[in-house]
Structure 1
Amino acid sequence: MIDPRVRLDVGVATARGQRSRNEDSHWAADGVYLVADGMGGHEAGDVASRTAIGVLRGLADGAPGPDDVRRAVREAHAAVRDLPATTGRRPGTTATGVVLTEHGDTPCWLVVNVGDSRTYRMAGGVLEQVTLDHSEVAELVASGVVPADEASRHPRRNVVTRVLGGGATQVEPDVWLLPVSPGDRMLVCSDGLTDELSDARIQAELRAQESAQPAADRLVAAALAAGGHDNVTVLVVDAILRR
């Protein structure tokens, strides 16, 4: 449910890149903006991502809080785990995104993440990653083993440590609650964008377009021009507070 005090401008763009099919899925309506990236090395990654989005889109009902998000993620995890694994490998998917809600009568972004797809916030023209990657390389960077500026080139940069589905019986999402500020621009994307473009380049492309749809189109085009090795999906959500 969209808070009547907030007007949203939303842009959506996706491409399969050099992959044979697009295993990304997304939802962008009714105050819920999500991207799921099916695991390329697993069976039926595209089915896994669609299944997860099919459950999580239910967060559009009412004004969900962090506990509602955690419950929805558990349901999505169970639904993906129930998918058949024809070669013995369980399907899996990342999931990340933002839900427009309210907390204490204040419009808020409720951000959720499982995996290495990302949600960013741009305020005052400055881009900041809200989510934390659940990946081997992110853990190595956090522990000081791998320098941050080498992470994008590390050979195990795409090894994800937390997914919906897969082999784990349970999964715990990361959840953040952030007040909506005038002029906020939220970016939700699969790693097909962030593997190709640095955060500085993403920020520059977002600054170059005032409206959400041209911004989303511009980012996907830039990722494809940079190589487009993976599926890439981008949601851009701009917030305008009504007085």
Structure 2
Amino acid sequence: MTALGRSSVRHTVTLPDRSDAVELSWHGVTHTGYRRTVNEDSYLADVPLFAIADGMGGHSHGDRASDAVVRRLQAAVDGEFIEPAAIVEALHRATADIHELDDDELGIGTTVTGVGLSLVDGRPVVSVFNVGDSRVYRFVGNDLEQVTVDHSIVQEMVDAGQLTAEQAEDHPESNVITRAVGFSLEPDIDMSQLELRAGMRLLLCSDGLTKEVPLQRLRLHLAARLSARETANALVDAALAQGGRDNITVIVIDVVRAPGD
């Protein structure tokens, strides 16, 4: 397990033209869970980049793979905004790092998901990236939306109409992913952008949370409007109360202030 950045912070980023600012508050937390002896999750939490990597369970040195990813992402930071291309390049470099670490014929790898604070034509936006089945959610008003799409066997079955989303969560192959960083393959990265809005909450998590806590419970925790720290800790506690069968990592980010508010 590797935790980089600052776990609980409130931070203001001034825009380049000094006309306005973005203010964020966040908290990151990880737990090994009750069934695992090693925490293979790693996370990075600091402006402008937040990420969670979940090392491949059942493969040796999954913690080393997730560590390589968050360290490469941290090394890509140069200022208080980051270009999406820099995120992509960091993940490609992490793939090479993992290849050097790999001394297991089965290979090692990791999921990764996260968000970066970027500028588009001088306007701040959230760049979302994902490989695997760790997730980013957006909570606005009273609505919770999964922003990322899982790269997994069961998601393909949902897309084909063979399973409902609810059935997919409990499917015996729910942990089989179709994309990863590592295994000597170049990563296939999903990238998207979100508009910044004051009051918006972002939830980043490994599947140790979502396999234990259903969507409606996630929404209730985010809707309670406790601080980012209290919310992240409460979500981990909820996953542990349901059995804590896997490593659990959570980052909650609150957009306190955004341009145009």
TM-score in terms of structure 1 length: 0.94
1:72-221 mapped onto 2 (5 Å cutoff): 72-85=90-103, 87-167=104-184, 169-221=185-237
In the TM superposition, what is the alpha-carbon distance from 1:101 to its structure 2 partner?
Answer: 1.7
Task: State whether residues 2 and 100 of structure 1, in contact with CA within 8 Å, keep that contact through their aligned partners in structure 2.
Answer: no
Equivalent residue, structure 2, for 1:222: 238
User: Is residue 55 from structure 1 mapped to residue 55 from structure 2 by the alignment?
Assistant: no
Q: Which amino acid aligns with 2:252?
A: V
TM-superposition CA deviations, 1:91-127 (whole Å, max 9, x none): 1100001111221121111111000000111111211
SS in structure 2 at match of 1:60:
coil
Bigger relative contact order, structure 1 or 2, given CA contacts below 8 A and separation 6+? 1
Structure 1 unaligned runs (5+)?
Answer: none
Percent of aligned pairs sharing the same letter: 41
Q: Which amino acid aligns with 1:34?
A: A
The whole-number CA distance in structure 1 between the counterparts of 2:102 and 2:54 is: 18
Q: 1:24 aligns with which of 41, 52, 55?
A: 41
The whole-number CA distance in structure 1 between the counterparts of 2:181 and 2:94 is: 7
Task: State whether residues 84 and 118 of structure 2, in contact with CA within 8 Å, keep that contact through their aligned partners in structure 1.
Answer: no
Name the stretch that deviates more: 99-108 or 231-240.
99-108
TM-superposition CA deviations, 1:156-208 (whole Å, max 9, x none): 000011000025x2221000111211111111100000000111110101112
In the TM superposition, what is the alpha-carbon distance from 1:3 to its structure 2 partner?
Answer: 3.2
The whole-number CA distance in structure 2 between the counterparts of 1:79 and 1:159 is: 23
Task: State whether residues 37 and 117 of structure 1, in contact with CA within 8 Å, keep that contact through their aligned partners in structure 2.
Answer: yes
In the TM superposition, what is the alpha-carbon distance from 1:227 to its structure 2 partner?
Answer: 1.0
Give structure 1 regions of 4+ aligned residues with deviation exceeding 6 angstroms.
Answer: none
The whole-number CA distance in structure 1 between the counterparts of 2:183 and 2:12 is: 33
In the TM superposition, what is the alpha-carbon distance from 1:2 to its structure 2 partner?
Answer: 6.7
TM-score in terms of structure 2 length: 0.88
Aligned residues: 241
Name the stretch that deviates more: 207-216 or 220-229.
207-216
The whole-number CA distance in structure 1 between the counterparts of 2:76 and 2:157 is: 33
Task: State whether residues 24 and 49 of structure 1, in contact with CA within 8 Å, keep that contact through their aligned partners in structure 2.
Answer: yes
Task: State whether residues 32 and 59 of structure 1, in contact with CA within 8 Å, keep that contact through their aligned partners in structure 2.
Answer: no
The whole-number CA distance in structure 1 between the counterparts of 2:45 and 2:74 is: 9
Q: 2:30 aligns with which of 5, 11, 14?
A: 14
Structure 2 unaligned runs (5+)?
Answer: 1-10, 15-20
> Compared with structure 1, are the counterparts of its residues 223 and 238 closer, same or farther at alpha carbon in structure 2 (3 Å cutoff)?
same
TM-superposition CA deviations, 1:118-137 (whole Å, max 9, x none): 01111112111110001000
The whole-number CA distance in structure 2 between the counterparts of 1:100 and 1:2 is: 12
Task: State whether residues 48 and 82 of structure 2, in contact with CA within 8 Å, keep that contact through their aligned partners in structure 1.
Answer: no
TM-superposition CA deviations, 1:196-232 (whole Å, max 9, x none): 0111110101112431000000000000001110000
Q: Which amino acid aligns with 1:83?
A: L
